[in-house]
Chains A and B, each alone.
Chain A
Amino acid sequence: MVFARWFWTVKATGWRCIRSDFYMSFSVPAQLEAELNELVTHYPQKRSASLMFLHAIQEHFGYVSKEAIEWIAGKLELQPINVYELVTFYPMFRQEPAGKFQIKVCRTLSCALGGSHKLHKHFCEKLGLDSHAHGVQTTKDGKYSVEFVECLASCGTAPVMMCNEDFYEGVSNAKADEILGRCK
């Protein structure tokens, strides 16, 4: 809703003055911006870089804020909605911060046959989260978030999971505790 309201404001009050406001409140470090500028050169059309931009922005800021959406749109000469519709379509992008350590347990058939529901429950119980709740759940201290994700393409070593960018196979409860222990 906030986004929609903001979008209408943009439409009503003219584009450029508002955009400069956002540039002030949201800034991208020079090095990251240089990397992003390089990414644009990979494509004959700037718009193609939007997914890679979103990845880079989310990696740096932890999530994709509406200011970030605006910034990307400005950079790639798009309307903010063109970027916003990607954030809402692709499951990996989020509009609010997740835990410092994001635990993603594979939910799909082979992992389910291999005990992924037990594993998910184990994490939830260990971290005081509700294993039946839908979607991403984050602990109150913001340290961990736990979620089920769809097939991570390693069905032969079920159950599998990711903790941030690290991938783990054949995760028993003991191994899960070990992984949590390493999250510091």
Chain B
Amino acid sequence: MPEEFRLILKYADQPGYTPDMECYLRHGGYEALKKALAIQPKTLPDGKTMSGPEQIREDVKVSGLRGRGGAGFSCGLKWSFVDRKSGKPIYLICNADESEPGTFKDRQILHKDPHQMIEGMIISCFANDVKLAYIYIRGEFPEGARILNRALKEAREKNFLGKNILGSGYDLEIHVHRGAGAYICGEETGLIESLEGKRAYPRIKPPYFPAILGLYMCPTIVNNVETLCHVKHVVMMGGAEYAKIGTPNNTGTRIVSVSGQVKKPGYYEVEVGKATMGQLINDFAGGLFEGRKLKAVIPGGSSAKVFKAGEKFKLKKKGPDGKDIEHEVDMLDLPYDFDSLMAAGSMSGSGAIIVMDDSTDIVEALANLSEFYAHESCGQCTPCREGSLWMSKTLHRMTHGQGRKQDADYLLKIADNIPGGRTICAFGEACSWPVQSFVGKFKDEFIAKGEADEAKGEADEAKRAAASSGAGPTAELKIAASPNH
């Protein structure tokens, strides 16, 4: 079994480790920033010179660092899209709106080791010539916001922030901005709108790619808390060295949040791709409770498509001769990385595994998630606003004894009509994927529930008719042919 590999959370849980500046400095804090600021311009073989910030950007590209927020997009590539010739200021926003159900990794960093994130953020700002940056923290983290404000104040006092940072001539200011309970603020363009003081309505891409037209219509970078922490380590150890951690194309470590019906739920930092889903659930998280059997696993936060226990996937693997060999993998043997889960039709998303055992009613579980999405849809696009609510209402009906056997197909029909370019942002996908996968993979349970409810309804009807016999004709109030709602 692979061991935990603590890079980001190396000190966070050590006894006596506190979130203040002194403690961070005692543990080698802000050394990476000093190193970054001291990088000298380099002359390339073709005679061009490469400035310090350019070298950091290149290093991040070499490191293969991928975003830890959900999409798993290459961080170096994201930075390379930034429009640097517009003459407008470039902004950087740290997305600390951690709100994907199942995820609780950023909470640990923000509350236990805020300076690590701030250091990573300052380096990222320096590398991208950012003079003003924001930390967008969700409203439900009031303590986190206080800790961050305190940490920023300490950083200003030590001149890690402010004017002429450590005599380098580089100026930077970072402010904390609090959200107010809307999940959609985790979507980067929604977040930008929210930071501009508006409703968090995501913007349509094109043209509003944050790298070109972001905050105040200026080029903007939005990075997750964990991603920014990794930047610090990339600079500290060098991109090539960093890329040796993890597996090819899935470099570095990842904090995986495991929750649900396991003995030891919690966060486990592992090398990306070195542990399988099964190891994370059964070894790290202590496995299922006694006498229970695995039923389903959501691998990457609530928006990811669910896996059914025993599900098999055909994955391609490079053989010794360099050719792709197809081999069958059980769901639990999937390496927990970006690419394998994507190949298996789901995603590692924000790195959150939710485990459900055989005591879980799968219809109830989906009803819970659908209620979340119906509550959180921003309401901008009709398919998402209406569809998420319809799905939630149907599932509510199903979990309150009024299911019908046609409901499974009905749910799929709604879910299939939300995503695929019909909505401005990916929330449309996020709300329909759970429904498509839950109903698709556990269809018999949905149908059985509907049939049981229908049978019970008919029996009640017969009882009512029998009880009122002889007292005139019974009222036929129930509309018979209405299978579609």
Residues of chain A at the chain B interface (Cβ within 8 Å): 42-45, 47-52, 54-55, 76, 82, 85-86, 89-93, 107-110, 112-114, 149-158, 162, 165, 167
> A44 with B140: in contact, given A89-B200, A153-B103, A155-B257 (CB under 8 Å)?
no
A154 and B104 contacting across the interface, CB-CB below 8 Å: yes
How far apart are B199's CB and chain A's nearest CB, in angstroms?
A: 4
Return chain A residues, CB-CB under 8 Å to B371. 107
Residues of chain B at the chain A interface (Cβ within 8 Å): 98-104, 106-107, 132, 138-143, 175, 177-183, 194-200, 216, 257-261, 265-267, 298, 302, 352, 354, 356, 360, 365, 368-369, 371-372, 375-376, 378
Tell me which of B102, B103, B139, B265 contacts A92 (CB under 8 A): B139
Tell me which of A48, A90, A151 contacts B182 (CB under 8 A): A90
How far apart are A91's CB and chain B's nearest CB, in angstroms?
A: 4
**17 A-B pairs (CB sep. < 8 Å):** A45-B196, A48-B196, A50-B197, A54-B180, A90-B181, A92-B181, A108-B369, A108-B372, A109-B102, A109-B368, A110-B259, A112-B365, A113-B259, A113-B356, A153-B140, A156-B258, A167-B143
Q: How far is the CA of A129 from the CA of B246 in the complex (A)?
A: 51
Q: Considering the complex, give the chain B residue whose CB is closest to the CB of A48.
A: B197
B183 and A150 contacting across the interface, CB-CB below 8 Å: yes
Tell me which of A43, A90, A113, A149 contacts B261 (CB under 8 A): A113
Tell me which of B181, B257, B356 contacts A149 (CB under 8 A): B181
Q: How many A-B residue pairs have CB under 8 A?
A: 143
A44 and B132 contacting across the interface, CB-CB below 8 Å: yes
B143 and A165 contacting across the interface, CB-CB below 8 Å: yes
Tell me which of A86, A90, A150 contacts B372 (CB under 8 A): A150
Q: Considering the complex, give the chain B residue whose CB is closest to the CB of A41.
A: B175
B103 and A155 contacting across the interface, CB-CB below 8 Å: yes
Identify 11 new A-B residue pairs, CB closer than 8 A, beyond the known A44-B216, A109-B354, A156-B267.
A45-B216, A48-B177, A55-B180, A82-B197, A89-B200, A113-B260, A113-B365, A150-B99, A151-B372, A155-B102, A167-B143
- Kindly name the residue among B103, B175, B259, B352 whose own CB sees the greatest number of chain A CB atoms within 10 A: B259
Return chain B residues, CB-CB under 8 Å to A86. 180, 197-199
How far apart are A48's CB and chain B's nearest CB, in angstroms?
A: 5
How far apart are A38's CB and chain B's nearest CB, in angstroms?
A: 11
B302 and A165 contacting across the interface, CB-CB below 8 Å: no
- Kindly name the residue among A82, A89, A158 whose own CB sees the greatest number of chain B CB atoms within 10 A: A89
